[in-house]
Structure 1
Amino acid sequence: MSKLPVVAIVGRPNVGKSTLFNRLVGKKLALVDDRPGVTRDRREGDASLIGLDFRIIDTAGYEDHDAQTLPGRMRQQTEAAVGQADVALFLFDARAGIVPLDEEIARWLRTADVPVVLVANKAEGRAGNDGVLESLALGFGDPVELSAEHGEGMGDLFEALLPLLEGKDEVPEEQPDNEYEGPLKLAIVGRPNAGKSTLVNRILGEDRMITGPEAGITRDSISVDYDWHPTGGESRKVRLIDTAGMRKRAKVQDKLEKMSVEDALHAVDFAEVVVLLLDATLGLEAQDLRIADKVLQEGRALVIALNKWDIAESASSLFNGVKRALEDGLSQVKGVTVMTVSGATGKGIDQLLQACFDTRDAWSKRVGTGELNRWFERAIEATPPPAPGGKRIKMRYVTQVKTRPPSFVIFGTRVDQLPASYERYLVNSMRKDLGFGAVPVRLMFRAPKNPYDDNRGGGGGY
């Protein structure tokens, strides 16, 4: 799996770099104060902007000082950050306008081998209009106008970054799309006593986990690395995570059990694929659907496994009943893979592991722009979007902004008026025609900015 692209925020002191950094990472990681020079070391974090993921670096304010002084060493840190970046965000204060230090930073950035996006911060209202006009003389084109403090203009920043970052996190073309560094991160979850630890022991071929008839033996989430040797294939690495059983929230009163359940939920966050293990002798219960829904909400790939299949009664009707219940209970995702296994005998384990690798492939899939938009045209032609109030909704194009889970943005006019039923149609069509199967798919919408309207368009998530 390749690394995220890197974006560095640069600018003179006190123009709002740390505020923008916190906005993009979604947490107050960087200290923010009205005094200049609060940031000294460069700080890094994982940023997400309308589904576009990248590594963001907050840098110290750029100042012209001797390299031996503290401000000079801070400047060297900023220069090092730009040296490793794929894109530099050059931030200036629109209200203060362009000052000589901004011009010096611009001269330096023109010599750096990195694309530059000029950003006018504090541009809310009209107070920054003059500064925006002055910035055109810097030679970086029209600035992106935003307010890092209030979150305005983030959609415009997304549109500026997308063409510069799109594809930066793709697997190199000479490698197959289903090859990734590191093991398959596979978490086994379910209600207490479903046989999770017994299954993990059978996969490993040793009594690595304590098992027994009592429910709730496992408390901590235990991670174990394993080399899987499929019949007739090459060895593949798996990181197995056994978790504590998750009972209905209302029944969890003991503090230790609460901590165990929280630990299991963290394991879901860490995993790539999650196997929800059901006890075939008990069938599907409401708590199983709650766990499955939690996994899908976290954007993880899901596989259902019916354990204790060797002692299940009326196997065929049980299997079909579980499939039907899943179709009804997980309406947001149709066709989740359902496998049958036995932790006691080992039957079905190779097939389960293969299904997990296949599911990760779909979860990690990136579709080329041409293929994606050909599908888009066919889908719209087959079922055109509705026209609420007689006004046509026009969808122009779609782009994939990330994988794991696959996430897409559709651009068009009045897309905020699309009904949920049409969004479901697009997602289901995408799963069927583009090979995403039953993995979570994120679909967002973006309308272009209307220069005659203060409302800059909207976007949604699916």
Structure 2
Amino acid sequence: MKVAIAGRANVGKSTLFNRLVGKRLAIVDDTPGVTRDRREAEARLQDLTFTLVDTAGFEGADPGTLEDRMWQQMNRAMDEADVYLFVVDARAGVTPLDEQLANDVRRRGKPVVLIANKAEGRAGDMMSLEAYSLGLGDPIAFSAEHGEGMSDLRHALVDAFAEVATPLPEAEEDDHDRPISVAILGRPNVGKSTLLNKIIGEDRMLTGPEAGLTRDSITVEFSHGDRHFRLVDTAGLRRRARVVEALERASTGDTIRAMKYAEAAIVVLDATMPFEKQDLTILDLVAREGRALVIAFNKWDLVPTPDESIRAAREAASRLIPQAAGIRVVPVSALSGRGIDRLMDTVTEAVDRWSTRISTGRLNRWLEMATQRHAPPAVSGRRIKIRYMTQAKSRPPTFIAFCSRPDALPDAYKRYLINSLREQFEMPGVPIRLLLRKGDNPYA
């Protein structure tokens, strides 16, 4: 079952969403209109499991405005849902906006569970009585903040599910391919949400000329060829000094979490203003976190000299991001869809290289050739010996080298080994980690 939360702004929809999902996924703030895009997650209420959709608050708006685009996103969520949780603020009482939205919900003809939120304590039942006037059935006195009314909500959902229950479809063949989690990152207003919409082929994310539209990190499932992806659209990352509002700090934290839990990252750059200082900061952050990395050069249709620009971009990427040398740069246009298939193919290749496993035998044959070509330096008159290397893990590729004096090995020689590894085993653009350990002394 898919359950959509509907209601006007600031009645506690995102708090209810977090309560039922069991995690603080949606950003919650006293400011009205924090939620803009619809967010989906698996929710559990006692013995019930269902897909829950958080939506933007209904505020009424003129056509073409940001609020109108938010309402259209809410409309799509309600079209796809089986059951509605209609939330009103019991403290504020029923407002004309509540009545207007209730009329729209009633016309849709789907089961509705009416929740009078913020009805804490003994006076809760009295505060919720006014919600009867909406004509959506018996209201549930509820407190999303404190978890009151959960059992009543469970019983109401059971009855609502029974109204729309359909036979389960036949089980499809089991697909062993686990979705690849990909975070879409970048500065504000470089076209991240527009790019995600074009990739999946629908207006899933709220877009527009206004900077900072996306606040929550929104996850969307998508298939390309025989590979499955879990795409995460994120809020734009600005310089830390410019992030002063608590709401933007929460959005930034949400973006960083999405990047840390992703397997790959598409960093979107504005092709008309590439490699700004903030772009390099984001790329460095992803490389240090060790994620598979691809650069999407968006707004490519605005570049006057494409051939010259792409050569310069690839040269600049290798020079400015040495920790992921050879990183793939893909020119795309989120408006026209140019380069989208190539971008997803490149992401798949980057994840495959990021998951590389190299046998110990091949590694040590390479190590012997690398040290013969360029021997480790002598520090304080004593030459450092690198005896052995093995791969500790993949994703990202992590190697351990056993040497006589790990503390004395210069960083320049470590970079030589990493770059030689990347070239020999065809891992361009992959962050590689090399750890040094001192081998046991057999004569001790």
Instruction: Indicate conservation of the 8 Å contact 2:389/2:400, yes or no.
Output: yes
Looking at structure 2, the residues matched to 406 and 238 of structure 1 have their Cα atoms a distance apart, in angstroms, of 21
Q: Which residue number corresponds to residue 421 of structure 1?
A: 412
Matched, 1:219 2:215: yes
What residue ranges of structure 1 are gaps of 5+ in the alignment? 1-178, 230-234, 454-462
Aligned ranges for residues 217-366 of structure 1 at < 5 Å?
Answer: 217-229=213-225, 235-366=226-357
Match of residue 386, structure 1, among 374, 377, 390? 377
C-alpha distance in 1 between matches for 2:176 and 2:241? 40
Which of 158, 172, 189 is residue 185 of structure 2 equivalent to? 189
Q: Is the 8 A contact 1:296 1:302 kept in 2?
A: yes
Per-residue deviation, 1:324: 3.2
Contact 1:191–1:247 (CA under 8 A) maintained in structure 2: yes
Kept in 2, the 8 Å contact 1:189–1:196? The answer is yes
Paired residue secondary structure (2:383)? coil
The one-letter amino acid paired with 2:209 is P
* CA–CA distance in structure 2, aligned partners of residues 357 and 390 of structure 1: 47
State the SS of the aligned residue for 1:345.
coil
Kindly indicate whether the alpha-carbon contact (under 8 Å) linking 1:394 and 1:415 is maintained by their aligned counterparts in 2. Answer: no
Query: How big is the shift at 1:452?
Result: 9.4
1:332 counterpart SS class: helix
Structure 1 segments of 4 or more deviating over 6 A?
none
TM-fit CA distance, 1:449: 4.1
Q: Distance in 1 between matches of 2:340 and 2:391?
A: 34
Give the SS at the match of 1:214: coil
- Taking the aligned partners of 2:176 and 2:242, their CA distance within structure 1 comes to 40
Which residue in 1 is equivalent to 2:90?
A: none
State how 1:10-409 maps to structure 2 within 5 Å: 181-229=177-225, 235-409=226-400
* Whole-Å separation in 2 of the counterparts to 1:361 and 1:416: 33
What displacement does 1:326 show? 2.3
Query: Is the Cα contact below 8 Å between 1:302 and 1:439 reproduced in 2?
Result: yes
**CA displacement 1:101-152 (0-9 Å, x = unmatched):** xxxxxxxxxxxxxxxxxxxxxxxxxxxxxxxxxxxxxxxxxxxxxxxxxxxx
Query: Hey, what's the Cα distance between the residues in 1 that align with 2:248 and 2:343?
Result: 29
State the alpha-carbon separation in 1 of the partners of residues 364 and 208 from structure 2: 53
Structure 2 residue ranges without an equivalent (≥5): 1-174
Distance 1:210 1:446 in 2: 50
Distance 1:292 1:409 in 2: 25
AA at the equivalent of 1:443 = L
Match of 1:142 in 2: none
Alignment partners' CA distance in 1, 2:210 and 2:306: 25
Q: How big is each residue's C-alpha offset from its partner over 1:5-48, in whole Å with a ceiling of 9 and x where there is no partner?
A: xxxxxxxxxxxxxxxxxxxxxxxxxxxxxxxxxxxxxxxxxxxx
- What is the percentage of aligned positions where both structures have the same residue? 49
Instruction: Please give the per-residue CA displacement for 1:169-192, whole angstroms capped at 9, x wherever unaligned.
Output: xxxxxxxxxx97411111110001
Whether the 8 Å contact between 1:283 and 1:318 is mirrored in structure 2 is no
**Structure 1 residue 422, shift from structure 2 partner:** 0.5
TM-superposed CA distance for 1:436, in Å, is 1.8
Q: Is the 8 A contact 2:197 2:205 kept in 1?
A: yes
Shift in Å, 1:450? 5.2
8 Å contact kept, 2:271–2:299: yes
- The CA RMSD over aligned residues, in Å, is 1.7
CA distance 1:373–1:452, shift in 2 (3 Å): closer
1: CA distance, partners of 2:283 / 2:339: 21
Shift of 1:365: 0.5
Q: C-alpha displacement at 1:255, in angstroms?
A: 1.1
How far off its partner does 1:320 sit?
Answer: 2.9
Query: For residues 272 and 315 of structure 1, what CA distance do their matches in structure 2 show?
Result: 30
1:384 match: secondary structure = coil
Distance in 2 separating the partners of 1:401 and 1:451:
23
Cα shift readout 1:156-203 (whole Å, capped 9, x = no counterpart) = xxxxxxxxxxxxxxxxxxxxxxx9741111111000111010010011
CA contact (8 A) 2:355 2:395 kept: yes
Structure 2 CA distance for aligned equivalents of residues 366 and 181 of structure 1: 18
Could you state the TM-score of these two structures normalised by the residue count of structure 2? Answer: 0.59
Local SS of the residue matching 2:269: strand
Instruction: Report how many aligned residue pairs link the two structures.
Output: 270
Deviation, structure 1 residue 267: 0.7
Instruction: State the Cα distance separating 1:280 from its structure 2 match.
Output: 1.2
